[in-house]
Amino acid sequence: MLVRMLRGMAIGTSAALGLALVAPAAAHAQAQTSGTRFGVEAALANHSLGFGVGAFVKFHVAELNEHPITGRASFDYYFPSNSFYGSGTHFWEISADGLYDITAKGNIKPYVGAGVSYDHFSFTCNFEGIDCGASSSGIGLDIVGGLNFMANSKLMPFVELKLGLGGGAGGGAYSSGDFVIKGGIHF
């Protein structure tokens, strides 16, 4: 079981690092023509999910009073801290958010938004040679607020807070009242 947990951690970390190494050139070329940006992010949940890594694509949807509205689709893999010897806990989520830039001017651009997430939680164990496990999936709702730092047109760092409104898998990132702090960079 420990091997499965380490393998899952290695796969998630490798995927995020691979995107960080390969995506910038492709994303920059794509962003020049369509306004689409790619990025990587790190997340910290306020409960047992702990630390997570992920990647996303962000794209222009519309303008409202000269303020951009963007869509973002992301995948995050978490490394839960509640595993014990002989067990493995895995959690991942796919999110879709709509984001509205509050201001159109300046180097720091605050934004707000809302979204939906599909998350999957699984637990496996081996107790005295007997395998056991359970899993749960669900859909959750969230609200989002954050800051984009526009210091460089090629690289755009951000920080954000996601607050769960309900739903999601048992122990999911977006159960009502749970929050996740994220930070990352757009390419």
- Domain of residue 110, CATH code: 2.40.160.20
- The pLDDT of residue 86 is 57
One DSSP character per residue, 133-162 reads EEEEEEEEEEEEEEEEE-S-SS-EEEEEEE
Segment 2-29 mean pLDDT:
41
Count how many domains the chain has. Answer: 1
Is residue 19 very low, low, confident or very high in pLDDT (cuts 50, 70, 90)? very low
Domain limits for position 103:
2-186
Mean of all residue pLDDT scores within the chain: 76
- The pLDDT of residue 105 is 78
- The pLDDT of residue 65 is 82
Which residue did the predictor score with more confidence, 165 or 185?
185
Comparing 33-42, 77-86, 120-129, 174-183, the range with the smallest average pLDDT is: 77-86
List, for residues 83-114, the tens digit of each pLDDT value. 555 567 788 899 999 999 998 678 899 999 99
- The pLDDT of residue 128 is 74
From the list 36, 93, 24, the residue with the least C-alpha distance to 70 is 36
Written in H, E and C, the secondary structure of 54-98 is EEEEEEEEEEECCEEEEEEEEEEEEECCCCCCCEEEEEEEEEEEE
3-state secondary structure of 135: strand
List, for residues 122-163, the tens digit of each pLDDT value. 878 777 777 777 788 888 899 999 999 987 667 899 999 998
- The pLDDT of residue 168 is 61
- The pLDDT of residue 85 is 56
pLDDT of 184 higher than 60: yes
pLDDT of 6 higher than 60: no
- The pLDDT of residue 83 is 55
Output the six-digit token pair for 19. 């995107």
Which residue did the predictor score with more confidence, 41 or 155?
41
